[in-house]
């Protein structure tokens, strides 16, 4: 009797893995991306999850400010 997870490419387990893999890499817009602060240094300290949207908006303001300052210098 075969398991429902199976071993071949047509199995339910393979389909679920493929679905999860594709949603992790392809289908999320940029505002759903997250970064974890100190996650690499402290494995247990993952409570600070910062949306990447705030990082992108902050960096775009900084770039706009810096590019404006460069235009004023010339």
pLDDT in tens, 14-58: 665 555 444 444 444 555 555 555 555 555 444 555 555 555 556
pTM score? 0.20
- 40 and 57 in contact (C-beta within 8 Å)? no
pLDDT recorded at residue 50 = 55
Q: Tell me, what DSSP letter sits at residue 31?
A: G
Name the pairing type of β-strands 34-36 and 49-51.
antiparallel
pLDDT recorded at residue 70 = 54
Buried b (16+ CB within 10 A) or exposed e, 34-43: eeeeeeeeee
């Amino acid at each position: 009797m075969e398991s429902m997870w199976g071993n071949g490419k047509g199995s339910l387990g393979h389909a679920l893995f493929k679905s999860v893999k594709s949603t992790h890499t392809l289908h999320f817009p940029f505002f759903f991306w997250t970064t974890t602060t100190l996650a690499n240094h402290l494995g247990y300290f993952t409570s600070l999850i910062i949306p990447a949207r705030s990082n992108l908006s902050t960096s775009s303001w900084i770039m706009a400010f810096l590019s404006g300052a460069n235009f004023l210098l010339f």
